[in-house]
A and B are shown apart, each in its own frame.
Chain A
Amino acid sequence: MDEVVLSAGDTAWVLASSALVLLMTPGLAFFYGGMVRAKSALNMMMMSIITIGVVSILWVIYGFKIAFGYEADSPWYGSLSTSGLGDAVSELANNGGVYPIPLLAFAAFQLMFAIITPALISGAIADRAKFFSWAIFVALWVTVVYFPVAHWVFAFGNKVGDTVTGAGYLASLGVQDFAGGTAVHINAGAAGLALAIVLGKRIGWQKSPMRPHSLPLVLLGASLLWFGWFGFNAGSALGASGIAALAFVNTQVATAGAVIGWITTERLRDGHPTTLGAASGAVAGLVAITPACAFVAPWAAAVIGLVAGIGCALAVGLKYKLGYDDSLDVVGVHLVGGIIGSLAIGFFGTSKILGLDGLFYGGGTELLGKQSIGVALVMGYSFVVTLIIGFLIEQTIGFRVKSESELTGVDQAEHAESAYELAGVLKGGR
């Protein structure tokens, strides 16, 4: 076998993509922060920022090995050991084959996914979570949910010669998820639903108005997410390749389609296309194209985006009918968008790119069936385990703030800060 030589171009792209994906988490902080009321804007943003702290540390201690180790040769987890990244400076990444990039570049890139996934969940419990309990939740959740699920989906095993050890269950089964429709979005969406159930509804939900306090912030956040998502999707090619370029183009057109899909739905249903709808549509499109971005043609990406924009715009109303306060629609956008995108591969996947045909290319239902297994397994596992972790925290250190703190605002109660000087009395003047 020829020895693989490190590629400067591939390495540069993966490192740049890692930085792009990291930027998505502060972007998410703005997206979510603008959507809550002024009295809890800082807490909402801090829930994202703390995941960067907690998950980065856990990743270098043991997280990377649970997700991408192969020593245990298990389809369910990598290995229970320290990550040992300090010894890997001259190693190349091996994930179902050797890539011409450093293992550390791969580890950095995958870390950013492990950070944003729990951050996505925070939108389901806006305005009412204890900050310390949230930090504990993040540590537990990535350890028993994200790291293992990332192994199921993203770990193609260590390949030496023809022998592969430690490939993940869904990866070996042939479930296709290019950049995280199941591992990231369905995972976060199902967990968001579980936590919304554990923490319960906010005081005054559906009675008093809980309007977004700053739509410009929401739009800024959505824009940063869109920008960073090129790293998320095109970076998942793990190289500066044609597949990366395809993922890049598909990311753009699907998002465009979803913006149009969402605000058209609003125009027809409510009478006005809204800013919040455009920002939400963009995110719904990004979510839906994530698993499919390297497996479908650009025209199909546009259709997937359009369907996701319409589907998610309709799905966000479900919480009012079913009575759970998923405050910022983690379920309606990430779970529903993730399902739409993951199943879409079963319809639009084409052998020209993927080596397998979906239903619309005459490939029958085999691929769609596999995709459904991936969706169901990740959704079920994440929902049940998150419920357990959530209840454990609620019963021990408590997960929800006192009702008094909730009414005053979690910013003051949890952080002793206010996002804005609204009164103006102390602003000075002659």
Chain B
Amino acid sequence: MKLITAIIKPGKFDEVKSALRAAGVKGMTVSEVSGVGRQGGHVEVYRGAEYPIDLISKVKIEILAENRDVDSVINTIVKVASTGSIGDGKVWATPVDSVVRVRTGEKGEAAI
């Protein structure tokens, strides 16, 4: 089992979610996050005083997937979330030791 984590542009979220649902992904956890990468920030001006805003809003999607599905899920996200410009985000997968479904107590792949 793997935990797939994707950081994407907020404007791409709806498209990515639809594509994942169409590809058979049943569950995901989504959070609004902010971060800094190569994109750099922007500057806001209030009464003439400049405030550099270096943290940029992004959406984080977390998906638990069986090993055989990991590549296709990642490919779906990358294909749909890409705009080709800097700041499109990142996707990575990490191994998961155990998963339990709270309602039934099912473990492992049955709990995904």
Which residues of A are at the interface with B, using a C-beta cutoff of 8 A? 209, 211-212, 266, 269-272, 274, 276-277, 280, 313, 316-317, 320, 329, 332
Answer whether residue B45 sits at the interface, using C-beta atoms and an 8 A cutoff. yes
On chain B, the number of residues with a Cβ less than 8 Å from chain A's Cβ atoms is 10
Alpha-carbon distance between A271 and B44 when the two chains are bound, in angstroms: 11
Shortest Cβ distance from B29 into chain A, in angstroms?
A: 14
Chain A residues closer than 8 Å to B52, beta-carbon distance: 209
Which residues of B are at the interface with A, using a C-beta cutoff of 8 A? 44-53
A interface majority secondary structure: loop
Alpha-carbon distance between A385 and B48 when the two chains are bound, in angstroms: 31
Q: Are B49 and A320 in contact (CB under 8 A)?
A: yes
Chain B residues closer than 8 Å to A316, beta-carbon distance: 47-48
Chain B residues closer than 8 Å to A272, beta-carbon distance: 45
Chain A residues closer than 8 Å to B50, beta-carbon distance: 270
- Nearest-neighbor residue (CB-CB) of A277 within chain B: B47
Chain A residues closer than 8 Å to B47, beta-carbon distance: 276-277, 280, 313, 316-317, 329, 332
Alpha-carbon distance between A13 and B18 when the two chains are bound, in angstroms: 61
B interface majority secondary structure: strand
Chain B residues closer than 8 Å to A270, beta-carbon distance: 45, 48, 50
Alpha-carbon distance between A274 and B52 when the two chains are bound, in angstroms: 16
Alpha-carbon distance between A280 and B50 when the two chains are bound, in angstroms: 17
Chain A residues closer than 8 Å to B45, beta-carbon distance: 266, 270-272, 274
Give which listed residue, A209, A212, A317, contacts B48 with CB less than 8 A: A317
Q: Are B48 and A211 in contact (CB under 8 A)?
A: no
- Nearest-neighbor residue (CB-CB) of A316 within chain B: B47
Shortest Cβ distance from B44 into chain A, in angstroms?
A: 7
Q: Which 5 A-B pairs have the closest CB atoms?
A: A209-B51, A270-B45, A316-B47, A317-B48, A276-B46
Alpha-carbon distance between A269 and B51 when the two chains are bound, in angstroms: 15
Shortest Cβ distance from A310 into chain B, in angstroms?
A: 12
Chain B residues closer than 8 Å to A269, beta-carbon distance: 48
Shortest Cβ distance from B45 into chain A, in angstroms?
A: 5
- Nearest-neighbor residue (CB-CB) of B51 within chain A: A209
Q: 22 A–B contact pairs at CB < 8 A?
A: A209-B53, A212-B46, A266-B48, A269-B48, A270-B45, A270-B48, A270-B50, A271-B45, A274-B45, A274-B46, A276-B46, A276-B47, A277-B47, A280-B47, A313-B47, A316-B47, A316-B48, A317-B47, A317-B49, A320-B49, A329-B47, A332-B47
- Nearest-neighbor residue (CB-CB) of B45 within chain A: A270
Chain B residues closer than 8 Å to A271, beta-carbon distance: 45
Chain B residues closer than 8 Å to A317, beta-carbon distance: 47-49
Alpha-carbon distance between A7 and B9 when the two chains are bound, in angstroms: 66
Chain A residues closer than 8 Å to B53, beta-carbon distance: 209
Alpha-carbon distance between A277 and B48 when the two chains are bound, in angstroms: 9
Identify which of A209, A274, A320 gathers the most chain B CB atoms within 10 Å of its CB: A209
- Nearest-neighbor residue (CB-CB) of A314 within chain B: B48
Shortest Cβ distance from A287 into chain B, in angstroms?
A: 15
Shortest Cβ distance from B101 into chain A, in angstroms?
A: 17
Identify which of B47, B48, B52, B53 gathers the most chain A CB atoms within 10 Å of its CB: B47
Alpha-carbon distance between A316 and B46 when the two chains are bound, in angstroms: 10
